[in-house]
Amino acid sequence: MNKWLLRGLIALVLLLVIGSGAYWWLVLESGKPQSTYMIDMAQVRHLADSIPGDKPLAIHAEHVAPFSFAGNVVLAGDGWAQVPLMIFAYKLDFPQYIGLIDTGVTPRSAAIMKVTLDREAAQHVVYALKFAKFTVFTHEHMDHIGGLLGSPWVKLEIPRAILSTEQFAHLAEYNEDYHPEFFAGYKPLAYDKYAAIAPGVVLIKAPGHTPGSQMVYVKRADGQEFLFTGDVAWTMRNIDTMRERARLATQFFLHEDRDAVLAELAALNALKKAEPHLHIVPGHDIGVVTNLEKAGLIVKGFHEPANAAPTYTFK
């Protein structure tokens, strides 16, 4: 064989090997966590009972904006077919007041993110924000805090919003709608691992997807328990398989602490097995939320048709 042809062949084989290796590493391989993460449920439950007062009677979900990502972006090795996902906001109905978990997006943040907004759903969130005693966020990404930052009454609502120190420190990185002047004098919540913020509601620190990521545990008055994981897991499949988003997404777009997320997925997997009655709610899993709605455990929409309240209309 001619020496140039041989060199060409070797180069081609090398390219294939390197290329397929890179493809495997970037798209197919999930990896195993080096670190460990643990949720102490006894401690969480103790904290959930630590603040006196009535626990939430009901949990509502607004389906604010549907979107989709390629399978591999959601879970390494899951192919390129699009996976339907949803941006949610949740409302906790206490007997005397309401609290919110995440706020979805507004028309502005939906346009930035190129997702199709359900305007009516987003308007319900804006209306609820006006009256919420507290609003907490699973993390500081636009699809979770955009509803607050884009609210017409944002300045009035910020004092009632509970942002962790880490979320507050990283707001500007992820939100074009962030105006520091609105937060003048704002004191974020500093906590170590767990923080009770209302009867039955406990924050669980879970940095990795973003520095300010946290999960929100909710125990209802009837004893039903929920764990909102935020984007530690976009779907239940991430928890069941303990597989992360592809490196292509986490390394170059999300800039995650991948090892921390893998450790959290392993902990959630163990928790799901140990606590079969705990309703784990991943960040964007439309199937899980729909099933909880069908089971009567989550109410779809912030307003029920029978007592529909006046709402806010985007200009």
Q: How far is the CB of 68 from Zn ion (least distance, A)?
A: 13
Q: Looking at 60-68, 106-114, 248-256, 279-287, which segment touches Zn ion (CB under 5 A)?
A: 279-287
Output the smallest distance, CB 254 to Zn ion, in A: 10
Q: How far is the CB of 55 from Zn ion (least distance, A)?
A: 26
Minimum distance, C-beta of residue 175 to Zn ion, in the bound complex (Å): 13
The DSSP secondary-structure symbol of 214 reads E
Query: What CA–CA distance (Å, rounded) separates 51 from 313?
Result: 36
Closer to Zn ion by CB, 30 or 235: give it: 235
Q: Which is nearer to Zn ion, 33 or 283 (CB)?
A: 283
53: left (phi over 0), alpha (psi -120 to 50) or beta: left
> Tokens standing for 262?
């893998």
Point out which span in 26-34, 70-78, 174-182, 229-237 binds Zn ion (CB under 5 A).
Answer: 229-237
Rounded to a whole number of angstroms, the minimum distance from the CB of residue 214 to Zn ion is: 13
* Shortest spacing between CB 176 and Zn ion, in angstroms: 16
CB-wise, 199 or 230, nearer to Zn ion? Answer: 230
**Minimum CB distance to Zn ion smaller for 118 or for 231:** 231
- Determine the interface stretch with Zn ion among 24-32, 124-132, 231-239, 273-281 (rule: CB under 5 A): 231-239
Beta carbon nearer to Zn ion, 199 or 283: 283
Task: Write down how long the chain is.
Answer: 315
Q: Which residue has the tokens 């929920």?
A: 226
Residue with tokens 């060199």: 7
Q: Answer yes or no: are the C-beta atoms of 285 and 236 closer than 8 Å.
A: yes
Q: Between the CA of residue 30 and those of 81, 174, 263, what are the distances in Å?
A: 18, 25, 12
261 in Cβ contact with 210 (< 8 Å): no
Reduced to 3 states (helix: H, G, I; strand: E, B; else coil), residue 71 is helix
**Which residue, 199 or 285, is less far from Zn ion as judged by CB?**
285
Q: Residue 42 and residue 187: Cα distance in Å, rounded?
A: 29
Told to check if 285 binds Zn ion by CB under 5 A, we report no
CA 238 to chain centre: 13
Report residue 161: phi and psi, to 5°: -85, 135
Shortest Å distance, C-beta 284 to Zn ion: 6
Instruction: In angstroms, give the least distance from the CB of 11 to Zn ion.
Output: 42
Candidate segments 90-98, 109-117, 283-291, 306-314, binder of Zn ion by CB under 5 A: 283-291
Tokens 């609003």 correspond to 135
Mode of pairing for the β-strands spanning 194-198 and 161-162: unpaired
Interacting residue with Zn ion among 157, 177, 231, 256 (CB under 5 A):
231
Q: Which is nearer to Zn ion, 47 or 265 (CB)?
A: 265
Residues 243 and 83 sit within 8 Å (Cβ to Cβ)? no
- Of 99 and 283, the one with the shorter C-beta distance to Zn ion is 283
* Listed residue (42, 38, 57) closest to 97, CA to CA: 57
| Single-letter code of the amino acid located at 192 | D
Measured from the CB of residue 265, what is the shortest distance to Zn ion in angstroms?
16
**Chain centroid to CA 160:** 20
Site track for Zn ion across 131-170, x = CB under 5 A: ------------x---------------------------
Q: Which is nearer to Zn ion, 37 or 234 (CB)?
A: 234
Residues lying near Zn ion in the complex (CB under 5 A) are found at 143, 231, 283
